[in-house]
Amino acid sequence: MLGELAMPKKLPKEFENLPPLLDTSTIAELLQVSRAGVVEMLKRGDLNGFQLGRNWRMHREDFLKSLGFDEALINKTYDRRID
């Protein structure tokens, strides 16, 4: 359909070997924003994360979905791998 972007066949290299849980520093580096900016996005609910004590974490799959990657592509990349 015109105007729609084609879904990539694989994740970009920087997203291929992410750990199952991401911390705010990792998310900030990947998004090229400050760590404080990531914390604000998490607090506002723009990113779907959770707190462990005072520290925020985000599941890898939720992070990739928030960037618009297709769930099938995420599953293809990670479900068959042992972390």
Asked if 39 contacts 56 with a C-beta cutoff of 8 angstroms, the reply is yes
* Domain assignment present for 36: yes
Q: Note the pLDDT of residue 11.
A: 85
Q: What is the mean pLDDT of each run of 10 residues along the chain (83 residues)?
A: 59 90 97 97 96 96 92 82 48
The pTM of the full predicted model, rounded to 2 decimals, is 0.81
Q: Note the pLDDT of residue 66.
A: 93
Q: Note the pLDDT of residue 2.
A: 42
Q: For residue 35, give its domain range.
A: 22-78
Q: Note the pLDDT of residue 1.
A: 42
Name residue, tokens 């705010």.
Answer: 24
* Domain assignment present for 15: no
Q: What's 60's domain CATH number?
A: 1.10.1660
Q: Across the chain, where does the E strand assignment appear?
A: 21-23, 50-52, 55-59
Q: Note the pLDDT of residue 51.
A: 96
* Domain assignment present for 8: no
* Domain assignment present for 33: yes
As for how many domains the chain has, the answer is: 1
* Domain assignment present for 28: yes
* Domain assignment present for 5: no
* Domain assignment present for 72: yes
